Structure 1
Amino acid sequence: MLTVTENARTAVGTLAEQAGVPAEGGLRIAQSADQPGNFELALVPAPQPEDQVVDEQGQTHVFVDSEAAIALATLELDAQPSTEGPGFVLSPQHD
């Protein structure tokens, strides 16, 4: 299952709060319909029924659509600050 770093949790929480996303909402990662092999990230008010909830323990929710879950299973979501806001990065999980 996709893992989420503390940096990513903080970035998602900040973005969700700024956007007025409800507490049960969060960041959703899905396969890109326009560009196969790429992923789309969006703030959503709640997960879709088939979504995998990645970060249930934290206050920040990250959801992965069922099609993307397989491709993301061995990856880690991290966030790096920039002047335009946080940049999200997917990389191999650390053991």
Structure 2
Amino acid sequence: MLTLTANAAQAIRDLTASAPEPERSGIRISSEGDTANALTLSLATAPEPTDEVVENEGARVYLDPVAASVLDDKSLDAGSDDQGGVSFLVTDQGL
């Protein structure tokens, strides 16, 4: 299962704090079509019916079935640039 670093959890909480329903909001990672050639990240107010939900420190990530399979042994990290922009990085767990 995808894990979240403390940095990723904080970034997700920051992104969803002003959402209409912050207690249910999170980020959603989904596939483009039926393959894992491209994954997209978006803000979501709730999971889709088939999504896997990963929650850590109050941060929620919703994964569609393809994304859940691709990211099963991965970790999501986050950082910010000098202008405050957030970027996410997927790494192998344990690195």
TM-score, shorter chain, exceeding 0.5: yes
Letter in structure 1 aligned against 2:48: Q
Give the structure 2 partner of residue 66 of structure 1.
Answer: 65
Deviation string 1:15-35 (CA, Å, 9 cap, x unpaired) is 1114x24111101111124x9
- Preserved CA contact (<8 Å) 1:31 1:39: yes
Q: Over the residues paired in the alignment, what is the CA RMSD in angstroms?
A: 1.8
Identity within the alignment, %:
33
Provide TM-score, normalisation by structure 1. 0.86
Q: Shift in Å at residue 36 of structure 1?
A: 4.9
SS in 2 for 1:54: strand
- Preserved CA contact (<8 Å) 1:79 1:88: yes
- Preserved CA contact (<8 Å) 2:53 2:62: yes
Higher helix share: 1
- Preserved CA contact (<8 Å) 1:21 1:43: no
Give the structure 2 partner of residue 28 of structure 1.
Answer: 28
Unaligned stretches of 5+ in structure 1? none
- Preserved CA contact (<8 Å) 1:79 1:89: yes
Deviation string 1:55-84 (CA, Å, 9 cap, x unpaired) is 1x5211111111111111011000011125
Higher strand share: 2
Instruction: Number of aligned residue pairs: give it.
Output: 92
Provide TM-score, normalisation by structure 2. 0.86
> Using a 3 Å threshold, how does the CA distance of structure 1 residues 89 and 41 change in structure 2: closer, same or farther?
same
- Preserved CA contact (<8 Å) 2:36 2:66: no
